[in-house]
Amino acid sequence: MAEINKDNLEKALSSKEESKLPQMSKETEIGFHQGTLNTLVAERNELFKMMQNIEMIMQAHLKRLEELGIKIQQKKE
């Protein structure tokens, strides 16, 4: 995964061709970043819900296997 320069986000994400584009006003750029963060937070929350559902289903299968006499050892990471 590429390293992102957090100190200069605009420079880290821009290419030479993009630098020719018109500049955004400060208010527009603030709105852009706020909107992006709101979207990413919502996406992260949905991903977390999905992971919780997967974990719940896995635990149900593990419980049923134990009821059937199969003992599953979980890997330590």
pTM check: above 0.75: no
Which pLDDT value is given to residue 20? 65
What is the DSSP-derived secondary structure letter of residue 48? H
Q: Which pLDDT score, from 0 to 100, does residue 41 have?
A: 98
Question: In this structure, how many other beta carbons lie within 10 angstroms of the beta carbon of residue 28?
Answer: 10
Residuewise pLDDT in 10s, the chain (77 residues): 566 667 777 766 665 555 566 788 999 999 999 999 999 999 999 999 999 999 999 999 999 999 999 988 877 76
Residue 14 confidence (pLDDT): 65
Give the separation between CA 74 and CA 9, rounded to whole angstroms. Answer: 41
| CA 35/CA 41 separation, integer angstroms | 10
pLDDT at 23: 86
Give the whole-angstrom CA distance, residue 64 versus residue 70: 9
**Long-range contacts for 14-22 (Cβ within 8 Å, ≥24 apart)?**
none
Query: Where are the chain's structural domains?
Result: 26-69
